[in-house]
Amino acid sequence: MDQESDNARRKLSKTLKPSWVFAIALGSSVGWGAFILPGDWIQSSGPLGAVIGLGIGALIMMIIASSYGVMIKKFPVSGGGFTYAFVAAGKMWAFICGWFLSLGYISIVALNASALTLLLKFLAPDFMKQGFLYTVAGWDVYMPEVIIASLIILLFAFINTTGTSISGQIQFYFSVLLVTGVIVLGIFTFSAADQPLVNLQPLFKGNQSIITSILVVLAIAPWAYVGFDNVPQAAEEFNFSPRKATMLIVASLFTSFLIYAIMIGLTSWTFPSFADIGNGELWATGEVVRSALGIGGLAVMAVAIVMGIFTGLNGFFMSSSRLLFSMARARALPNFFRAMTENQTPKWGIWFVAIITLPTPWFGRQALTWIVDMSSTGVSVAYFFTCLAAYKVLAWGKEKAGREIAPLKKLLALLGIAASGVFLALLLVPNSPAALTTPSYILLFSWAFVGVIFYTVIRKRYNSLTQEETEYYVLGKTIESEVTESAADTEADHLPIPGATRP
């Protein structure tokens, strides 16, 4: 490879349709948690408290999504939080945001793979509990779960290397099956119940206030809806106008909320006494469906949860590899993350995610949840910087060169900044409803320490680019060109390659 081509800004091909992008956001947001956790949420908040908490959470995510829409429209490139943190606060904060966001995405890939084995433990416990290996943090690790989780990681890595045309179509069909399965379960359990509305009582947890019941579930909203932010990671591959991004994200969040609400509802409205259903079982919702609808209902449930797991795997493989690609393009990661297949897919980013996640099934699910809990911090940081960047590029009303005059969007960005700060506080302030556990705190500081070491190593290379060059590699154009040219005339292809002679 000659020097000029090595310094050229590599781009991803535009193959993603609107329906595929909607499926990426929806399938990534609704995973195993929608099926495994309703029983826990009902016990901690009551059915109505849980639904209200998740509903408010969806509204807050929609406010944050407004800022994502602003940034996708202005900078339709991959990178998401990494890119927007660069716009908002510069190179160092972009690296920090990208560092924590990458761990968040990669760990969710691993968690989704382990969720499939959790389902199989419920459906076929005798088979899954063969070949006992050891116990990690109270979780017994068996050979079948290690093998199955590893194979599913490799399968979706391979699917993603075939290109976004295939992975996007698969995401869409999987999402259709997911939504269909949830609707069928909701209708049939409601019809089978003698008094579904009466069975919902008590609506809130009896020994705590209504506000506390709502806040307990609201605190996990960043985790419950994480995945809609995969859309900006795919922005560079849209084959349609970036203006549609906000609508697609909001629609996916609303659909995600409906799925959560239906699963909470059927867990509580099917039988008179929720406490007696699924007691001691692997998960209450599965036992409710099996008791009410028999093997047929359980089969529909199994298909729906597998689709939720598969869409999460596929979506986060896509987003994590694009994040690594965009960071490497900005020289924040080694060059091999920029390597692409013939169909313009970042192959080594995909296989790197697979290699990193393959050892995780050996650690046990409990240890993995510590990583995911900790990585929620990275997602909230990305929300914060996205809203801050949107606030920065929008204007209240006075004419400012390069800024869109949009007071409502700017207000929503300000609200998004505040909401992101609250979510971070809920995670990091001890004794809050969603405070990290001690192991998660330890892992968070360990990952931060590793990041400091890595940044020290790459700092010279990362900072060797001028501000104009970095803007070009990260954004596809310089900020100056954004100010002085219209969007139609600022295609990256028309710009000279800065630093083409740079080693």
Residue 132 pairs in a beta bridge with: 142
- Backbone φ and ψ for 140, nearest 5 degrees, come out as -80, 125
Select from 257, 220, 254, 250 the least CA-distant residue to 66: 250
Would you call 400 helix, strand, or coil by DSSP?
A: coil
Task: Return the pLDDT at 481.
Answer: 57
Q: What are the DSSP calls for 292-343, one per residue?
A: HHHHHHHHHHHHHHHHHHHHHHHHHHHHHHHHHHHHHHTTSS-GGGG---TT
What is the Cα–Cα distance from 119 to 127, expressed in whole angstroms? 12
Cis peptide leading into residue 334 (ω within 30°): no
Closest alpha carbon to 183 in 191, 194, 171: 191
Helix ranges (DSSP H) in 124-235: 125-128, 143-161, 164-192, 196-199, 210-218, 221-224, 230-233
Contact in structure between 161 and 12 (CB atoms under 8 Å) = no
Pairing of β 394-395 and β 404-405: parallel
H helix and E strand count, the chain: 22, 4
Query: How many CB atoms sit inside 10 A of residue 493's CB?
Result: 7
DSSP 8-state symbol, 115: H
The angle at the Cα of 226, spanning 223 to 229, to the nearest 5 degrees, equals: 155
pLDDT, tens digit only, all 503 positions of the chain: 333 345 667 777 788 899 999 999 998 888 778 888 888 888 888 889 899 999 999 999 999 999 999 999 999 888 889 999 999 999 999 999 999 888 888 888 888 888 888 888 877 888 888 898 888 877 888 899 899 999 999 999 999 888 788 888 999 999 999 999 999 999 998 988 888 888 888 888 777 788 888 888 887 777 788 888 889 988 888 888 888 989 999 999 999 999 999 999 988 888 876 545 544 445 788 888 888 888 898 899 889 999 998 998 998 998 999 999 999 888 998 888 888 777 778 888 899 999 989 988 888 777 777 777 777 788 888 999 999 999 998 888 776 656 777 789 999 999 999 999 988 888 888 877 667 888 888 888 888 999 999 999 888 888 888 888 888 888 887 665 555 543 444 344 344 444 433 33
Q: How many CB atoms lie within 10 A of CB 135?
A: 11
Are 31 and 178 in contact by the 8 Å Cβ rule? The answer is no
Domain 17-375+443-464, CATH = 1.20.1740.10
Structure tokens at 173: 């069909």
* Strand duo 132-136 + 139-142: pairing: antiparallel
Instruction: Give domain limits for the chain.
Output: 17-375+443-464
pTM (predicted TM-score):
0.85
- What confidence score (pLDDT) does residue 4 get? 38
Confidence at residue 400, expressed as pLDDT on a 0 to 100 scale: 62
pLDDT of 489 reads 40
User: Rounded to whole angstroms, how far apart are CA atoms 63 and 250?
Assistant: 9
What tokens were used for 228?
Answer: 């809609």
d(CA 9, CA 14): 15
Retrieve residue 244's tokens: 């549609």
User: Distance from CA of residue 2 to its chain's centroid?
Assistant: 37
> How much is the pLDDT for 480?
59
Measure the CA–CA gap between 359 and 136, rounded to whole angstroms: 14
Contact status, residue 278 vs residue 56, Cβ threshold 8 Å: no
Structural contact between residues 346 and 340, judged by C-beta atoms closer than 8 angstroms: yes
What element of type H or E holds 6? helix 3-7
The DSSP 8-state label assigned to residue 151 in this structure reads H
